[in-house]
A and B are shown apart, each in its own frame.
Chain A
Amino acid sequence: MFLSLGLAALAVSCGRPSSISKESMLDSKPDNPVHTIVMPHDEPVFPPGPGRNEFVTACVVCHSPRYITMQPRFSRTTWLSEVKKMKDVYGAHISDEQALKITDYLVSINGKPDTGQAPQGTYGE
């Protein structure tokens, strides 16, 4: 069941409405006091590279990798600030060394040159 729902969501995500997508519409019946949904799940594979292991281990525990892939390209300063926020503010279980490796990886897949005054995000965006 879970797999079919996941596939349904992925199939329609490519712009092709699928008949099986209706399976995910688990509307509650008025006489059923228990209301339940099953979430679709999308787990992309990331390319090999330095820092990938740290990224996959530490980041995806709490959130989808789309938190990275939906962002525009950011400078190393901004990515480092984001990784430090995850470590210091949200308590991601990573060492300072791992944080730097993760930053390297994020810059390698979605980075741009440092301008020296990159904006830094805040919290609870």
Chain B
Amino acid sequence: MNRRGFLQLIGATGAAALTASSNRINSVLGTLSSPAQLVRFPEKAEMILLTDRPPQLETPLHYFRQDLTPNEAFFVRWHLEGIPTSVDLRTFRLNVTGHVRQPSQLSMDELRSQFEPISIIAVNQCSGNSRSFFEPRVPGGQWKHGAVGNAKWTGVSVKSVLDRAQVKPGAVDVSFNGLDVPPLPSVADFVKALAIDHARDGEVMIAYAMNDHALPMVNGFPLRLVVPGWYGTYWVKALSDITVLPEAFSNFWTDKAYRIPSGPNGTESPKDMAKDTVPINRFNVRSIFVRPEPDDTLHPGMPAEMEGIAFDSGHGIRRVEVSTDGGGTWTDARLDPELGKYSWRRWKASWTPRNRRPYRLMARATNAKGETQSKGQWNRSGFMWNVISEVDVKVG
């Protein structure tokens, strides 16, 4: 059986059997040219399906025309099959234990009533966002550019919760665990850690609200760790356990997984793989073309608005330039006001195509430190994509 036949067979047992249409089945490949397969999960809008178990759902590009990404469209990425599907707030507790004098078990009511609420607008982006654009291709979730979102997070600082628990002298790391569980005893539980000073910086927070509403279950209800400026792997969902450690944290998900080459921008070459790796950490500078979308058709002489988003790890986006001639010449895009240093910043630029032909549009963001996007990039895990954005459109 050839590949197409195989894929049709996959579809024939699922969606296609119900609708007698198999023209979207190629989307299971996640290839760049295939149409997205949309699926609707509980509490979510139609999203691009990567995997259903555990769920990995990508946000359709058009949602990035808004400052804040709606909860129902915010991307979803779990690691372990055993994700929480039911939480009883009468019995749920956030456990704060380990190298502390006063271990505590906090109810949701206690978190809301006994700690000062804080809010922050921050981008959350999957380490592997845009992985499908790396060449040569690498295994993993084959995301396009939609494993990212910007939301207003409300909750309490980790600092305030740790202060209540009275951290003992000599604390090194703080680990964060959620309600998700491994499918086999041999699979490491998904636990991440931050250095004690990072965890206590007053910005790292425990969010009980996202855009002023409870989090959808698949986005981490009832509590989610928010680590502004850092990749999503640290934003532990369904957070239930905070443990202060007098030594460096060590587990599979830190020692072996989510590591990047130690060189500049986490880059290496397939022919020259990096020997030294470090845990992935802060976002690099990047932009995403939101409009036009790939393969959109524009019209000669008709003004076309270009728009997109740009963000970094908190220094602030200072400039976005666009090119309509494949990078030959660049002009400044207009930047929307800043919504906070961890928010993305939206940009727009007007353009009137003249000729009936394909165009390659490009965007390049620069932050307050003068850091900008890369011209080429590869690593074995498909992390930290920040190559200058491109979108190919037709004018006809």
- A1 on interface, CB distance cutoff 8 Å: no
Residue in A7, A8, A35, A63 whose beta carbon sits within 8 Å of that of B54 in the complex: A63
For B81, the chain A residues whose CB sits under 8 A away are 62-63
Taking a contact as CB atoms under 8 Å apart, the answer to whether A72 and B29 are in contact is: yes
- Closest 9 A/B residue pairs (Cβ): A91-B186, A124-B257, A125-B140, A121-B139, A123-B257, A37-B42, A64-B53, A14-B15, A36-B86
- B393 to nearest A CB, angstroms? 23
Encode A35-58 as 1/0 by CB contact (under 8 A) with B: 111111111111100000000000
For B270, the chain A residues whose CB sits under 8 A away are 117, 119
Given contacts A11-B15, A120-B380, contact A47 B1 (CB under 8 A): yes
Given known contacts A11-B18, A33-B89, A44-B10, what 8 new A-B pairs fall within 8 Å (CB)?
Answer: A11-B19, A24-B42, A40-B41, A70-B141, A89-B256, A109-B6, A123-B253, A124-B79
Given contacts A44-B14, A125-B141, contact A25 B50 (CB under 8 A): no
Cα separation A62 to B185 with both chains bound (whole Å): 11
For A119, the chain B residues whose CB sits under 8 A away are 136-138, 270, 380
Taking a contact as CB atoms under 8 Å apart, the answer to whether B28 and A118 are in contact is: no
> Which A residue sits closest to B253, measured CB to CB?
A124
For A41, the chain B residues whose CB sits under 8 A away are 52-53
**Most chain A beta-carbon neighbours within 10 Å: one of B24, B42, B141:** B42
Encode B19-53 as 1/0 by CB contact (under 8 A) with A: 10100100011110000011111110010011111
Interface size class of B (residues with CB under 8 A): 35 or more
Encode B186-223 as 1/0 by CB contact (under 8 A) with A: 11000000000000000000000000001001100110
Taking a contact as CB atoms under 8 Å apart, the answer to whether B85 and A38 are in contact is: yes
For B187, the chain A residues whose CB sits under 8 A away are 62, 90-91
Taking a contact as CB atoms under 8 Å apart, the answer to whether A14 and B271 are in contact is: no
Cα separation A102 to B69 with both chains bound (whole Å): 40
- B366 on interface, CB distance cutoff 8 Å: no
Taking a contact as CB atoms under 8 Å apart, the answer to whether B233 and A9 are in contact is: no
Cα separation A11 to B19 with both chains bound (whole Å): 7
Cα separation A117 to B297 with both chains bound (whole Å): 39
12 inter-chain pairs at a CB distance below 8 angstroms, sorted by A residue, are: A36-B86, A37-B218, A40-B52, A62-B184, A70-B141, A72-B31, A78-B139, A90-B186, A110-B3, A120-B139, A122-B257, A125-B140
Taking a contact as CB atoms under 8 Å apart, the answer to whether A69 and B29 are in contact is: yes
Within 8 A of A (CB), among B119-172: 128, 131-132, 136-142
Taking a contact as CB atoms under 8 Å apart, the answer to whether B24 and A125 are in contact is: no
- B214 to nearest A CB, angstroms? 7
For B83, the chain A residues whose CB sits under 8 A away are 39
Mark B residues whose CB is within 8 Å of A. 1, 3, 5-7, 9-16, 18-19, 21, 24, 28-31, 37-43, 46, 49-55, 79, 81, 83, 85-90, 128, 131-132, 136-142, 183-187, 214, 217-218, 221-222, 233, 252-253, 256-259, 270-271, 380-382
Cα separation A8 to B38 with both chains bound (whole Å): 12
Taking a contact as CB atoms under 8 Å apart, the answer to whether B30 and A40 are in contact is: no
Taking a contact as CB atoms under 8 Å apart, the answer to whether B221 and A121 are in contact is: no
Given contacts A66-B51, A89-B256, contact A45 B381 (CB under 8 A): no
Residue in B50, B138, B214 whose beta carbon sits within 8 Å of that of A121 in the complex: B138
For B3, the chain A residues whose CB sits under 8 A away are 109-110
- A56 to nearest B CB, angstroms? 13
Cα separation A89 to B257 with both chains bound (whole Å): 11
Taking a contact as CB atoms under 8 Å apart, the answer to whether B19 and A72 are in contact is: no
For B222, the chain A residues whose CB sits under 8 A away are 35
Cα separation A39 to B1 with both chains bound (whole Å): 32
Taking a contact as CB atoms under 8 Å apart, the answer to whether A33 and B139 are in contact is: no
Residue in B11, B42, B142 whose beta carbon sits within 8 Å of that of A26 in the complex: B42
- B20 to nearest A CB, angstroms? 9
For B1, the chain A residues whose CB sits under 8 A away are 47
Residue in B18, B53, B184, B214 whose beta carbon sits within 8 Å of that of A90 in the complex: B184
For A12, the chain B residues whose CB sits under 8 A away are 38-40, 46
Taking a contact as CB atoms under 8 Å apart, the answer to whether A24 and B52 are in contact is: no
Residue in A35, A45, A66, A90 whose beta carbon sits within 8 Å of that of B13 in the complex: A45
Cα separation A9 to B52 with both chains bound (whole Å): 10
Given contacts A66-B50, A72-B142, contact A27 B43 (CB under 8 A): yes
Residue in A14, A33, A67, A121 whose beta carbon sits within 8 Å of that of B21 in the complex: A14
- B43 to nearest A CB, angstroms? 6
Taking a contact as CB atoms under 8 Å apart, the answer to whether B85 and A39 are in contact is: yes
Residue in B15, B55, B128 whose beta carbon sits within 8 Å of that of A13 in the complex: B15
Residue in A17, A45, A66, A125 whose beta carbon sits within 8 Å of that of B128 in the complex: A125
